[in-house]
Every structure is written in C-alpha cells, then in structure tokens.
Amino acid sequence: MDVRQLQVSAIKNGTVIDHIESKNTFKVANILHIEDEHQLVLVGVNLTSGNLGKKGLIKIEGKNLTQDEANKIALIAPDATLNIIKDYEVIEKKKVSLQDELIGIVKCFNPNCISNHEKVRTRFYVERKDLPRLRCHYCERAMEREDIELL
C-alpha cells in the first residue's frame, strides 16, 4: 500500500500557499480573510515536511492573490511557496517575495512618525527581503520582522 498520500486533498483551480511556518499559518489565513470565501478552503497545520520539520499550508479554491496580499504573506511567512493550480495541475510555483517599496500595508512602529499622526499612506523601502527589514520613508527608522505590524 502506498502511504505517501496528500495530507490535505488537492484542489481543482486556485492557490496553494505552502511551507508556512506552522505557527504563522493562521496569521496568513487572517491576511487572506478566508472567513469571507465561498468556495473550498483547506487549512493544514503541523504537517510533516522534510526541511521545515513541521509546516502549515492553505489551499483556496478560486483564489488569485493580490499584490498587497502577496507582500503581506512575504512579511509574515518569508519561506512560503505560492502555487497556482489549474485543472488540478501546478501551473506556476514561486517563492513569495517582497516588492522594493511597500505602500499602505504596514504601520510604522515609531509612535512619533508623521505617518501615525497625519492622513498619509505609510511607505517603506525594503532593505532586506529574506529576513525582512523595512525603512520608513518618513522617519527613516528601520523595522525588522518582530516590529512589523500589518495595517
């Protein structure tokens, strides 16, 4: 008997976010507002995975990620893989990656920053992508992963 079955069923058309650090799986689920989906959504946590030990994944039927969603996932789950599924086949596979500038998706952690006091969209320059480091356009402070709060 072949015991190497999928731990979470396949989907027909949509997006699979794979290789999420298990403990961050529900943060990614929140970014994607899966509670508003009407089609099939499968969430797996603590799945066995070769290199990560344990991983999480999210499969959403009929979903295409927006650029903002992809950037947010790259901040919360920098090792995640995005798979696009069409007719049950993986037609595209890529690592999540941050754009060079992030506008209006992250809050500045400096309480004195103008972006926390005036109606301006936050703006950050991405100085490092793998272990995210963002520099605020307004106050020039640098934030690392543990400081990052999504808007």
- 108 binds Zn ion, rule: CB under 5 A: yes
Return d(Cα 22, Cα 74) in angstroms, integer: 15
- 142 makes contact, choosing from Zn ion, ligand CTP, none, with CB < 5 to 8 Å by partner type, with none
Q: Check: CB of residue 80 under 8 Å from CB of residue 28.
A: yes
Q: Check: CB of residue 8 under 8 Å from CB of residue 42.
A: yes
How many residues bind ligand CTP, per CB under 6 A? 13
- 134 binds Zn ion, rule: CB under 5 A: no
Q: What is the CA radius of gyration of the chain?
A: 17
- 85 binds ligand CTP, rule: CB under 6 A: yes
- 63 binds ligand CTP, rule: CB under 6 A: no
- 80 binds ligand CTP, rule: CB under 6 A: no
Q: Check: CB of residue 34 under 8 Å from CB of residue 40.
A: no
Smallest distance from ligand CTP to CB 122, Å: 32
- 136 binds ligand CTP, rule: CB under 6 A: no
